[in-house]
Structure 1
Amino acid sequence: MSETILHGYWRSSAAYRVRIALGVKGIGYAQVTHDLRAGEQHDPAYLAIAPHGLVPALEHDGDILIESPAILEWIETKWPAPPLLPRSPGDAATVRAMAALIGCDIHPLNNLRVLTQLRSQFDASNAQVKAWIAHWIGAGFGALEQLIDRVGGTFAFGDAPTLADCYLVPQVYNAERYDVDLGDFPRIRATAEAARALPAFAAAHPEVQPDFK
């Protein structure tokens, strides 16, 4: 049986998404850590795997996959049960849109390299960086709260976890790390709590990863 290798970092929310998906599918994997704070993602050996110098990357049976949206779609195709996308094309598109709201509209603006640029090139203070983070999380969560109110159940879409939850739980973790007030987003908080109670989500939590420090 081919070994599945996940290249990541305990605090990377993009790697967190992939850990959740693999856990939901019941797929075992080995982890290789690349400490983003130490710049290990720029090591030539890793760049040979992931030329963009970001985590996660996934290796399986000769395939080398980068970028969490592509990895998650590959996982869903490779191991379709239990599903992380609804069968209806319209419902699947809604779930993908909810995921993209986080993956495209929130996460890139709060990525480590963006925050580093704010500090190094624009002399932003810690308070200004936290305000930046809170602004973009709040803007995205405002829209996502409405979507969950429209299509959510126990989870972000209906009563089974989907790709939307794989994105949401790591983003809520980031919001909590930066003391973002989630008081205006009760559906998001309830959804995250329900997902975190599942074993696959609990096992993917950053602070239980082997490289946590």
Structure 2
Amino acid sequence: MKLFSFFNSSASYRVRIALALKGIDYQTEGVNIRAGEQYHAKYLQHNPVGVVPTLIDDSGDAIGQSLAIIDYLDRRFPAPLLLPQEARLRAQVLEIALAIACDIHPVNNMRILRYLTDELQVSESQKKSWYAHWIKVGLSAVERLLEQSNSGNYCVGEQVTLADCCLIPQWANALRMGCDLSDYPRCQRIYQHCNTLPAFIAAAPENQPDVIPA
């Protein structure tokens, strides 16, 4: 398998965690989204949306969108299962994962931030305020969802799920952007615990072959 990825793309990070948890061998091909490589014609043949990640499976088929990729991996390689089979647990995992992947991430990703600065001409401080606002709104909701799920070291239950695969990259990006995260102790506990696990360490941005030094 081959994963088209960018080292600090949170969507790519989610998929790298899932691949590492399942012990799947794959090749990484870096796509520098800062330089616009996701819009090159060759890449758009794999992913018409022009975003990362894209997974090329062992049959040569291309799959885009991180949650679709992880669902595909879960069905092909069910150990460990990242989406529980029991209906209520599955719903809890999806509720948390989608609160991050659909509510926080889309308004704070790079193409949105660039539109704010390049097209709407907002200042750097205004851009950071935008980012911090949506982190506060989103993680406040996630923290309440974690209270409902009685989270411990993981978002739901006693093992890693899709929810953790989404939370850790989002938290890492919020840290990188200098957000105040002191109001989310459950999120922080999960982040700190998961980052002791080999799969999360292997998937971390700083450990990727396409990492760009700060």
TM-score, normalised via structure 2 length: 0.96
Q: Deviations over 1:128-170 (max 9, x none)?
A: 1111111111111001101112211211112211000000000
How far apart are residue 120 of structure 1 and its match?
Answer: 1.3
Q: Would you say 1:56 and 2:47 are equivalent positions?
A: no
Counterparts of 1:75-90 in structure 2 under 5 Å?
75-90=73-88
> Percent identity at matched positions?
44
The CA distance in 1 between the partners of 2:99 and 2:19, in whole Å, is 21
One-letter identity of the residue aligned with 1:84 = L
For 1:96, the equivalent position in structure 2 comes to 94
| 1:72 is aligned to 2:70 | yes
**Is it true that 1:105 corresponds to 2:82 in the alignment?**
no
Given that 2:5 and 2:29 are in contact with CA atoms closer than 8 Å, whether structure 1 keeps it comes out as: yes
- Counterpart CA distance in 2 for 1:40 and 1:131 is 28
1:40 aligns with 2:37: yes
2:198 is matched with 199
1:158-189, CA deviations, whole angstroms, 9 ceiling, x for partnerless residues?
A: 22110000000000011001110010001100
Pick aligned residue for 1:15 from 8, 12, 15: 12
CA distance in 2 between partners of 1:187 and 1:31 (Å) = 32
Say whether 1:134 aligns with 2:135: no
- Paired residues in the alignment total 210
Q: 1:131 is aligned with what amino acid?
A: S
How far apart are 1:87 and its partner, in Å? 2.3
Q: Secondary structure at the match of 1:32?
A: strand
The residue aligned with 1:25 is 22
Aligned residues of 2:152 and 2:189 also touching (Cα < 8 A)? no
> Please, which moves more after superposition, 147-156 or 12-21?
147-156
Determine helix, strand or coil for the equivalent of 2:119: helix
Q: Secondary structure of the equivalent of 1:93?
A: helix
CA distance in 1, matches of 2:174, 2:133: 11
RMSD across aligned positions (CA): 0.8
- SS of the equivalent of 1:116 reads helix
| Deviations 1:8-41 (CA, angstroms, capped at 9, x unpaired) | 1101110000000000111111001110111111
Unaligned runs of 5+ in 2: none
1:122 aligned counterpart, secondary structure:
coil
Residue 62 of structure 1: SS of its match in structure 2?
coil
SS of residue in 1 equivalent to 2:34: helix
Q: Distance in 1 between matches of 2:190 and 2:100?
A: 15
The 4+ residue runs of structure 1 with deviation greater than 4 A are none
Q: For residues 209 and 124 of structure 1, what CA distance do their matches in structure 2 show? A: 32
Secondary structure in structure 2 of the residue aligned to 1:48: helix
> In 2, distance between residues paired with 1:14 and 1:135?
20
| Structure 1 residue 109, shift from structure 2 partner | 0.3
- C-alpha separation between the residues in 2 aligned to 1:23 and 1:58? 14
Structure 1 gaps of 5+ residues are none
